[in-house]
Amino acid sequence: MSSVFFYHLTESPLETVLPILIGKARQAGWRICVRGRHDGMMQMLDQRLWVDDPASFIPHGLSGGPHDAAQPVLLTTVDDIPNKASCLMSVGGADIRAEDMAGLDRAMILFDGFDPDAVAHARRQWKAVTGAKIPAQYWAQEAGRWMKKAEG
């Protein structure tokens, strides 16, 4: 059964954590859909994934092009999963619904621990996910490491 991992970002920004998690998901052999709510955020992440570290290039695309379905990593603001990904990552408060979980190996919700609205939204998502009996884990950054703090 698929599961949802919640990542509470308190020590590293999204643009640092996201490429690491995408890399781990790619190592697992998964196609990834990164779902956000704002085009500007997705464009910023697109730029970061292209230029940050040429040695660790992540092949990806920004949705809206003719090859969305073929992208191994697709950044999007739409509610579906255009690239038939097996891993869905939520950023910037994008929702992951129980019906999204069908066909996924993993979903990840990354949220800014210093934004009260983001924390409140993540709590609502935790309740919705665990209420739907979907396995969930909550991970927080602590002294430079990820620590599992809860499981539901």
Summarised one tens digit per residue, pLDDT across range 33-76 is 999 999 999 999 998 887 766 666 788 999 998 999 999 999 99
CATH code: domain of residue 141: 3.40.50.10110
Structural domain boundaries, residue 32: 3-151
Q: Do the Cβ atoms of 8 and 139 come closer than 8 Å?
A: yes
Task: Report which of 150, 125, 127 is spatially closest to residue 138, judged by C-alpha positions.
Answer: 150
Domains in the chain, number: 1
pLDDT, tens digit, 9 for 90 and up, residues 76-109:
999 989 999 999 999 999 999 888 888 899 999 9
Q: Is the pTM of this model over 0.85?
A: yes
